[in-house]
Amino acid sequence: MTGAAASAGAGASAATRDSAGSGDSAGSGAAGEAARLLAGITGRVGQVLASVTGVRDATLGLAAAAQAAGRAPGPADLEPLRPLVAGVLAAHQGFAAGAGVVLAPGVVAGAARCLEWWWVTPAGEVSKLAVDLDPGSAEFYDYTSTAWYREPERTGSWSVTGPYVDYICTRQYTFTVSVPLHLGGGFAGVAGADILAEEVERLALPALTRLPGAAALVSGNGRVIASNTTRALPGTVLCPGRSGPALWHSPPLPWTLVADPRSPGG
Partner 1 sequence: MPPRALSTARTRTLFAPLDAGGRADAVTRRLTQAIRLGLLADGERLPAEASLASQLGVSPVTLREALASLRELGLVETRRGRGGGSFVCAPDDHDQARLERPLRLLSLHELQDIGDHRAAVAGAAARLAAQRAIPGDIAALREHAARLGAAATTTERRRADARLHIEVAAAAQSPRLTAGEMELWSEIGDLIWLPMGADQVAAVAAEHRELIDAIEHAEPGLARELAERHVAAETSRLLEFRLGLAG
The 3-state secondary structure of 201-260 reads HHHHHHHHHHCCCCEEEECCCCEEEEECCCCCCCCCECCCCCCCCEEEECCCCCCEEEEC
Q: Is 53 exposed, middle or buried (0-12, 13-18, 19+ CB in 10 A)?
A: middle
Neighbours of 107 (CB within 10 A): 20
Q: Is 111 in the site for partner 1 (CB under 8 A)?
A: no
Q: Is 236 in the site for partner 1 (CB under 8 A)?
A: yes
Q: Is 198 exposed, middle or buried (0-12, 13-18, 19+ CB in 10 A)?
A: middle
CA distance 33 to 208: 10
Q: Is 228 in the site for partner 1 (CB under 8 A)?
A: no
Q: Specify the stretch interacting with partner 1 by CB under 8 A; choose among 42-50, 63-71, 204-212, 221-229.
A: 221-229
CB of 2 to partner 1, least distance (A): 7
Alpha helices in the chain, H assignment, sequence order:
10-18, 20-24, 29-68, 81-91, 147-155, 197-210
Among 28, 69, 110, 130, which residue sits at the site for partner 1 (rule: CB under 8 A)?
A: 130
CA distance 85 to 209: 35
Is 21 within 8 Å of 65 (Cβ atoms)? no
Neighbours of 104 (CB within 10 A): 20
Which of residues 90 and 140 has its CB atom nearest to partner 1 in the complex? 140
Which of residues 162 and 252 has its CB atom nearest to partner 1 in the complex? 162
CB of 137 to partner 1, least distance (A): 6
CB of 237 to partner 1, least distance (A): 6
CB of 20 to partner 1, least distance (A): 23
Q: Is 127 in the site for partner 1 (CB under 8 A)?
A: yes
Q: Is 229 in the site for partner 1 (CB under 8 A)?
A: no
Which of residues 211 and 263 has its CB atom nearest to partner 1 in the complex? 263
CA distance 146 to 161: 9
Instruction: Give how far the C-alpha of residue 205 lies from the chain's centroid of Cα atoms, to the nearest Å.
Output: 19
Q: Is 165 in the site for partner 1 (CB under 8 A)?
A: yes
Q: Which of residues 1-60 bind partner 1 (CB under 8 A)?
A: 2, 4-7
Residues composing the chain: 266
Which of residues 197 and 257 has its CB atom nearest to partner 1 in the complex? 197
Among 140, 156, 206, 209, which residue sits at the site for partner 1 (rule: CB under 8 A)?
A: 140
Among 121, 156, 209, 213, which residue sits at the site for partner 1 (rule: CB under 8 A)?
A: 121
Size, binding site for partner 1 by CB under 8 A: 39
Residues of this chain that interact with partner 1 (CB under 8 A) are: 2, 4-7, 119, 121-123, 125, 127-132, 136-140, 145, 147, 163-165, 167, 171-173, 221-223, 235-237, 263-265
